[in-house]
């Protein structure tokens, strides 16, 4: 049976765009991708003081939608995400609950005062989606700034690294897949 990752639009994230972002996942990891039914706007995760959304609360909802045959669930949201003790996150993955999320909020060029650019947003979104799916499949952060598993602390990192795995991460992936 092929391994399946379910991708889920969260709140305002457009279904067709989310499908588009998940496109490289199959070729990079050799898994099948299915698009799940969208989740509602995550009002339950909103933190008034921070004016941001707690990503762990959304991960719990996502995890509950995972089919038994699915390796993991990944949500794509428009809202700005945080985890405690960090100013923000582009995304987060939780191996135990097999759930992950990516936010488009800070990947939008207009977030940093640049002109709107859908192609750039798509490229960044794809990179971050592949990164979080990599965590779901068992990969950790990588020291190679050109590898998709490198940790992005800014969009500059995301733009530099792109969607591909380095050789070490490819070897590691093969090892994890064999052990599954």
Contact positions toward Zn ion, by CB under 5 A? 142, 144, 147, 149, 166, 169
CB of 144 to Zn ion, least distance (A): 5
Closest of 78, 68, 90 to residue 158, by C-alpha: 90
31 vs 169, which CB is nearer to Zn ion? 169
CB of 28 to Zn ion, least distance (A): 12
45 vs 100, which CB is nearer to Zn ion? 100
36 vs 134, which CB is nearer to Zn ion? 134
Cβ atoms of 8 and 67 closer than 8 Å = no
Given the residues 92, 128, 132, 172, select the one marked as catalytic: 132
Is 32 an annotated catalytic residue? Answer: no
CB of 158 to Zn ion, least distance (A): 11
Tell me whether residue 177 is exposed, middle or buried, using C-beta atoms within 10 angstroms of its C-beta: 0 to 12, 13 to 18, 19 or more: middle
Q: Is the four-CA dihedral 128, 126, 154, 171 of positive or negative sign?
A: positive
How many other CB atoms are there within 10 angstroms of residue 179's CB atom? Answer: 7
Distances (CA, A) of 57 to 24, 94, 171: 27, 12, 33
- Catalogue the active-site residues: 132
């Amino acid at each position: 049976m092929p391994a399946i990752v379910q991708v889920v639009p969260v709140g305002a994230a457009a279904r067709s765009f989310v499908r588009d972002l998940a496109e490289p996942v199959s070729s990079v990891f050799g898994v099948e991708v299915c698009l799940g039914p969208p989740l509602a706007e995550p009002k339950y995760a909103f933190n008034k003081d921070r004016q941001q959304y707690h990503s762990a609360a959304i991960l719990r909802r996502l995890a509950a939608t995972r089919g038994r045959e699915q390796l993991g669930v990944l949500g794509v949201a428009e809202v700005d995400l945080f985890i405690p003790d960090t100013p923000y996150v582009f995304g987060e993955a939780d191996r135990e609950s097999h759930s992950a999320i990516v936010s488009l909020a800070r990947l939008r060029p207009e977030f940093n005062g640049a002109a709107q650019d859908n192609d750039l947003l798509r490229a960044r979104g794809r990179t971050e989606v592949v990164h979080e799916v990599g965590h779901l499949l068992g990969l950790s952060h990588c020291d190679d700034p050109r590898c998709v598993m490198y940790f992005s602390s800014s969009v500059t990192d995301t733009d530099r690294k792109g969607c591909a795995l380095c050789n070490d991460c490819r070897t590691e992936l093969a090892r994890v897949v064999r052990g599954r």
